[in-house]
Structure formats: C-alpha cells, structure tokens
Amino acid sequence: MAFDEMKSPDGGVRPPYRAYENWLLSVPPDLLPRKNEQADALFRRLGITFAVYGDKEGTERLIPFDPIPRIIAAKEWERLSEGCCQRVRALNAFLKDLYHGQEIIKAGVIPKTQVFGNGLYRPEMQGLDVARDVYIHISGIDVVRTGESEFYVLEDNLRSPSGVSYMLENRAMMMRLFPDLFTRHHVAAVESYPDQLLKNLRSVAPAACDGDPTVVLMTPGYYNSAYFEHAFLAEQMGIELVEGRDLFVRDRLVYMRTTHGPKRVDVIYRRIDDDFLDPDAFNPDSALGVRGLMEAYRAGGVTLANAIGTGVADDKATYTYVPDMVRFYLGEEPILNNVPTWRLDRKDDLKYVLEHLSELVVKEVQGAGGYGMLVGPTSSKTEIEEFRARILKTPDNYIAQPTLALSTVPTLVEKGIAPRHVDLRPYVLMGETATLVPGGLTRVALRQGSLVVNSSQGGGTKDTWVLEDDPC
C-alpha cells in the first residue's frame, strides 16, 4: 500500500498538513475548482504549455497544474537536501576523474566498458580543465518516497535538466491564488533561485574573463518544447537569450552580435545537447550551434554550463554506481539510496528480469521523459512480449527496477480530492559548494493508479512547500 503523505493509516492528519487541513475544512467546496480555473486562464495568458505526445487533444496543452500544495517537513527536507548535495559532489568528482586520471576505473570500482562503451562519453573532453573543476552547474535529482523516512533517488539529470521554471511559476501562482495560506504556514522561499544561479554562473567565468562576466542562455529556438523555460530564466536572471546564430568565435573567444557591435561572452548556460553545439566538433549538420565553440572551450576562452560530456554520468546504467562514487570520492556513506536495480548486461539479472517482466519497471539506459520504458503491472501481455523482444535484441540497453509504491498526496480531480502518486525534482546548483533552494518540482500522476508522473506522459505539477519549522 502506498504511503499517504497527508493521512496516517488511522485516518489522522500528519503534522505538516494539519494547518492546511484546517483551512481546507473552512472554505467552500467549490473554492479549489474555481481557483484551478483561474490558474488555467492565467497560465494560458502566459503561454505556459508542454508537449504531451499521444494526447488526443493535440500535442500542446496548458501545463497541468494542481492547486493543492505538496508539504514537506523541515527535518525531512534537511535530509533530502544533504543527500542531493552529497550525490552531486560525488558525480562532479567522477566527471573530473573520468576526463583526467580515471582513478575510479583503475581501482576497479567502475568497469572500462561502462565508460568507453557509453555513447554519451566525450573523448574530446579528455584532459580538458574546466573552470573551478565544476562540470555539473545545474542538476535535477529525481527522488521518490515510499514511507515515513524512506526516500530513494530514481535518476540523476545532469545535462540540461528542465522544469525549474514551473517550480517558480507554481509558487507565484499559489501566492496569487491563496495569499492567506502563506500567512498560516512558514513556507521557505524559492524565489532566489535565478539570483543564485546567476551568481554561480558568474563564479565559473574563465580565467581569460576581463571585468564582470557576461552570461548568456543559449536556446535551440522558439520551436523547442522547453523554450518558455529558456526565455523565462533568461528574463529572471537579466541576461540575453541567444541562439547559435547570435554567437561567433574569433581568436578562441566567443562573441555575441549586438546592435552596438560584438560583445564578449564568458559563460554560456546552454540548453542544447552536446551533438548540436559545434558542427566542426560534433554533428556537422547542426544548424543550432557555433563553429569553433569547442576550440574556444578547450582553450579556456569560455565556460559551458553544464560541461560537455556530463551525460555519461546520468546514464541509467552509470546510476547504479553512484553509491560507490560517494564512498570512493567522499569517503562517506550515501545519505539517499538508489532504487534497487537490475542491469540487463549481467546474465543473472537478465534471466531474473525476463522471468518477472510483469512485475517490474524496465527502462532504456539513455531514455528520458517516460519514453522507452515498460511498467509491467499496468502493461498488457502483448506489450510485455513486444518489450521482451526488444530486451533480447540489446539487453545492455536496459535496466530494471521494482515497481515502487510511490507516495501519494492529495490532488484535485474531477470527483473532488483524491490521493495521487508523486515524485520530486530538487535542483542542485554547483559552484564553490553544492546548494539548492528549499523546494523543487513535484510531479503528479493525474490518472488514478498511474505511476508515470512525467508531464510528457500526461502528468501534472504542484507547488512544493518546505516548512521552515516543524509543526508539533
């Protein structure tokens, strides 16, 4: 049975939700539906949409927003925060080691094949020194809860994690719709995220930077599904939103075209995949990148956030080694555990998984967004057999995990308020230290019984409240 974050088994209300429950009992039953309609109208006006592939109503719809907050106690957040920061420090150390001395491979902790056979490993990064040794400037760590004090990391997003704009917009929406609720709860603020991000990005400007660092956000363009977020973050940080065609390289330095002439660029927060950054170094057909960018990067003329080649560390097969990285690089025990995982490139694991496909979740090691996966308990026999054939064709392309009973939180649905499964993506910023704002993106599976929370698969989002002090 799933852990209910609001209600205890005896029907009582858990401490973090008591003040909210009292408020809920004091308002008319039609208040939440009316507020939800207002939220939809406001989001429509702002143009906040998300691609929902396979949706009968079309490929674009309003961001699915739920007006009931997810509430996390201060002590619970303290553990989550420490665990996420510890994990990112270890992953960053792994990337530095991987592209330099490779001590973890020499020690036999991670096999060579896991790294050099990985399509996301970038040999171009070998021996390249990055500013302040920071590879993962922004990361999103997906966490699930299964019990009172049971939290698991589901996956690490280290390339260009999305969703933080929804974290910020959800909070702004809740404060607009329910200002009285924020007088009843001591909710930690998340609004400082853009300022913290900009401060971190400036702190990793290359040594060649002359004066105050110029930071830009590089987007693939208007037709990218996350373009709203790109534009939103650039505006919030007060920096230029640029495309590849707005930049050029001269003498191993990067410049931005402006109406006043070329302007030197020191830090690029890029929301473009490695393959498309530089047609001279990667995909020659890319029209999104900047010729010579890799040469400028290697010469120390510009900082890229996140660094090229970080994908090798968030591969779902590499994920299985992260607890070992924590021990190897930090000399600590992991604060947050991985979900138990079977690697299908191992003969015994493959045999077990093929015998229990109807009970497990199977994922592509480089998959994302809820695509390329099998949720055994909710799949038909035909779907399972089709997936079995795919696994047998390339078993090393998959990992499998038990079907966790993700925790539930109260959610507004057509028939009223009902529990729905959720996960959480806190955003860790890496500069001199690893930090994160007290909150994150809570994603909710809006369909009854569904465990798939991805917005691209029809899931929704909630505001995440971290209480500044624990209620009695």
Instruction: Provide the pLDDT confidence category of residue 56 given band limits of 50, 70 and 90.
Output: very low
Pair 406, 145: CB distance under 8 Å: yes
In a domain, 374, yes or no: yes
CB atoms within 10 A of CB 306: 25
| Judgement on whether residues 125 and 76 belong to the same structural domain of the protein | yes
In a domain, 230, yes or no: no
| Judgement on whether residues 408 and 462 belong to the same structural domain of the protein | yes
| Judgement on whether residues 46 and 87 belong to the same structural domain of the protein | yes
Pair 91, 311: CB distance under 8 Å: no
At which of 354, 370, 402 does a domain end?
Answer: 402
In a domain, 238, yes or no: no
In a domain, 248, yes or no: no
Closest of 334, 277, 295, 41 to residue 176, by C-alpha: 41
**β-pair type (138-147, 150-157):** antiparallel
- Report angle CA 181, 182, 186 to the nearest 5 degrees: 125
Find the mean pLDDT for residues 337-361. 93
Amino acid at the residue 95? L
Give every CB contact of residue 41 below 8 A, 6+ residues apart in sequence.
Answer: none
Instruction: Provide the pLDDT confidence category of residue 367 given band limits of 50, 70 and 90.
Output: low
Q: Is 315 exposed, middle or buried (0-12, 13-18, 19+ CB in 10 A)?
A: buried
| pTM of the predicted structure, to 2 decimals | 0.93
At which of 402, 427, 453 does a domain end?
Answer: 402
Helix axes 227-237, 164-177, angle to 10 degrees: 70
| Judgement on whether residues 391 and 440 belong to the same structural domain of the protein | no
In a domain, 393, yes or no: yes
| Judgement on whether residues 315 and 345 belong to the same structural domain of the protein | no
- 366: domain CATH number is 3.30.1490.270
| Region label for 410, one of left (φ > 0), alpha (ψ between -120 and 50) or beta (otherwise) | beta
| Judgement on whether residues 202 and 344 belong to the same structural domain of the protein | no
Digit-coded pLDDT (tens) for 297-347: 999 999 999 999 999 998 888 999 999 999 999 999 999 999 999 999 899
What percent of the chain clears pLDDT 90, i.e. is strictly above it?
Answer: 78
Instruction: Provide the pLDDT confidence category of residue 472 given band limits of 50, 70 and 90.
Output: low
| Judgement on whether residues 389 and 424 belong to the same structural domain of the protein | no
- Alpha-carbon distance of 427 to 439, in angstroms, equals 8
Pair 159, 311: CB distance under 8 Å: yes
| Judgement on whether residues 65 and 122 belong to the same structural domain of the protein | yes
Instruction: Provide the pLDDT confidence category of residue 63 given band limits of 50, 70 and 90.
Output: confident
At which of 402, 429, 449 does a domain end?
Answer: 402
Pair 205, 266: CB distance under 8 Å: yes
Amino acid at the residue 81? S
Digit-coded pLDDT (tens) for 29-48: 999 999 999 998 888 887 77
In a domain, 283, yes or no: no
| Judgement on whether residues 364 and 325 belong to the same structural domain of the protein | no
Count of domains observed in the chain: 2
| Judgement on whether residues 313 and 370 belong to the same structural domain of the protein | no
In a domain, 259, yes or no: no
Pair 427, 36: CB distance under 8 Å: no
| Judgement on whether residues 376 and 432 belong to the same structural domain of the protein | no
Q: Which domain holds residue 93?
A: 15-206+302-334+404-466
Digit-coded pLDDT (tens) for 179-226: 999 988 999 999 999 999 999 999 999 988 888 999 999 999 988 888
Show the tokens assigned to 73.
Answer: 């106690």
In a domain, 447, yes or no: yes
Digit-coded pLDDT (tens) for 130-139: 999 999 999 9
Instruction: Provide the pLDDT confidence category of residue 370 given band limits of 50, 70 and 90.
Output: low
| Judgement on whether residues 371 and 424 belong to the same structural domain of the protein | no
